[in-house]
Chains A and B, each alone.
Chain A
């Protein structure tokens, strides 16, 4: 391969985030005019790699070489100017400006020449004509479809003379027809010598669009393959193929009677026609990609979101929580997906965070019975082995694992019968993970019914008695622990 063909070389990039490795010595190389698919499970490090290339975050080790020049130390603005662009999953356009204004945003004067509205419009029209695009240049971006907005972002990169465009799940919100057009567009870009790296969870796109495929797993680069070397099955195996260590504690317990049953439950547009039952002493796993509607199911059960149709029943009685407070009193406990957003009150201490849901029961006239409150909290802290440096420490200063255990304490103080746990081990250290697995199994043994939502496939498989797979808001499959395998689940989830 001639040297000038190589556009981008990622050399041994490592990235850590508060002690947790995100990327481990990742290598990647890319030629001019190449379309490259980057695949991996959620959390494998795809977005982080993109951010490193673009200079949004700087890696702790390694080097990125673009057109034979190292990019380290350059600010984002410079890197953009050198010809790397990124199309984020959330589009970065200004809805209140026109198409042309968006394309030339921040470049109102080029090479000393001021670009007036007329010049901008003309330049945009020329560009669109060249690419045979039929989008009015004077339209407001807010009036356009998502697909058109995405095209405008891509055209902005093109007009900035980008040589490399990074695309984070570009097709995730496009229809079949729009995807066909998108494919034509990126092949056109390729023919002009522009390189593209994109992420996707869809096998047909990975194999249909790309020249080469790189697989990331747990922050490590499994390898780069030409698409002839792989088939969808072998690719999935490479994505999940981590060795299953004996990390998950095992405890078998009797599964009891049905506690919660869900019949044809829908919450449009998040999910539709979901059916399942949950028994005492059982862990039911809910799998699917992020955004498939898993979290929404948990939120409807806990009264955070409203169902649009269908029935739920709790211990044989119709159950329709108006709000989380009612769900709590009905005997449910809920751990939200995002600890910072839905869990902790950062300025409050451990005890205050723990008792928040139950404060009404600690009421003595108008006052908080602080003696009883802190006694219960200290009990719970010991039970869950929550470590804090000093009494009354604010929760925001605790480690992620300890924060998560405090939130478990909040739920357990209420003595719930049903627990909905959404990503209970996300972003916490290995030791805390193990403690939480042990806790989940202890709760199961006590006869609690547990709905476990997780993106971590090995975790989900090891902990659950049964697994339900959700894809795009639809229930794809239900299988027992014996029937399930990572490959099977991923196949349904990617469907």
Chain B
């Protein structure tokens, strides 16, 4: 009991965890179809792409930056993996590795421009967002790419020991990112430059290098998300991933990561992703129209951040 109280009052993710439980309780009281193993597995599967994107961009946001090009990177990488998996020309292994390298390179492009030009990352990634979308259309000649390898389809729709593959990737990504952020030298540097860039520089941190790396991580996870998305729908869509960056950033912020940088957790981001996913799923189940879902979703995002702010203040006084 004491530990539980400590979790809710001390841990930075206590507030969003409480909110998540609350919406789960709400939906299970409204419909019996919510709290079933199948539905929970569906939710996890549905949120996997957003979660993977959100994990990557968490590093960027903690470091004090932003990446708006995520959705476009998903499209480019989705097209790349589709092209590489067409007609059994390359093995799945090569297609996936090639796409991940493409994601890293595109992320590096973001990072290099941010570091060299000192233009705000908001502007830089707004530009690369448009560039990426164009590249996806060029590479695919504006058409969906179909006739993909069976093995790619397995990544999106198959399962291992009864667990859907996207969920496995979700869990793996969560673990890796969590360790990277909390236990490694790199993770410490990311928080340091987000907390006070000038002080970190003077303390001897290679600020530019770390900034480059965070954008590369963001690109890498966007590539992974692109692969999973293409595999799931079994076609490479140049128009895929529209607006995905906003869902991912919303999840990160709901999860308690400061938009000013310096603090945040992967667990928080995971909870933010689940929060959005559960609400989408629940509103579907209780037959709220898709139009109204968007209105409600937007309202809830604002409400969640406002309430979290109040909750953090309240915690100070406990």
Contacts and interface: CB of A to CB of B under 8 A. Distances in A.
B191 A324 contact: no
Contact of A410 (B185, B188, B203, B262): B203
Interface string A325-356: 10110000010100001111111100010001
Interface in B102-156: none
Interface string B146-183: 00000000000000000000000000000000001001
A274 to B, nearest CB: 21
Interface string A344-384: 11111000100011111011001110000000000000000
Given A302-B202, A342-B198, A342-B199, A347 B185 contact: no
Contact of B205 (A356, A362, A363, A366): A356
B192 A348 contact: yes
B200 A345 contact: yes
30 contacts: A304-B202, A323-B201, A324-B202, A324-B203, A325-B206, A327-B204, A328-B204, A341-B196, A341-B198, A344-B196, A345-B196, A345-B200, A346-B262, A347-B191, A347-B263, A348-B191, A348-B192, A348-B195, A352-B188, A356-B188, A356-B200, A357-B203, A357-B204, A357-B205, A359-B188, A359-B205, A362-B185, A366-B180, A367-B185, A368-B183
Given A325-B204, A328-B204, A345-B262, A366 B199 contact: no
B209 to A, nearest CB: 10
B175 to A, nearest CB: 14
Contacts of A346: 195-196, 262
A327 B201 CA distance: 12
A442 B222 CA distance: 54
A324 B192 contact: no
B59 interface: no
A71 B180 CA distance: 57
B198 A347 contact: no
A328 B203 CA distance: 8
Interface residues of A, number: 29
B189 interface: yes
A352 B206 CA distance: 16
Given A346-B195, A346-B262, A368 B201 contact: no
Main secondary structure of the interface of B (DSSP, over half): helix
A367 B191 contact: no
B37 interface: no
Given A347-B263, A363-B185, A304 B192 contact: no
B185 A341 contact: no
Which of B203, B204, B206, B263 counts the most chain A CB atoms within 10 A?
A: B203
Which of B186, B196, B200 counts the most chain A CB atoms within 10 A?
A: B196
A366 B186 contact: yes
A324 B263 CA distance: 24
Interface of B: 180, 183-186, 188-189, 191-192, 195-196, 198-206, 262-263
B9 to A, nearest CB: 15
A324 B185 contact: no
Interface in A280-330: 302, 304, 323-325, 327-328
Interface of A: 302, 304, 323-325, 327-328, 334, 336, 341-348, 352, 356-360, 362-363, 366-368, 410
A64 to B, nearest CB: 35
B262 A324 contact: no
Contact of B188 (A304, A323, A344, A368): A368
A424 B244 CA distance: 48
B189 A359 contact: yes
B11 to A, nearest CB: 13
A199 B201 CA distance: 35
A336 B185 contact: no
Given A347-B191, A368-B183, A356 B198 contact: no
Contacts of B195: 345-348
B262 A347 contact: yes
A346 B193 CA distance: 11
A356 B185 contact: no
A451 to B, nearest CB: 15
B202 A334 contact: yes
A327 B202 CA distance: 10
Contacts of A343: 199, 202
A356 B191 CA distance: 11
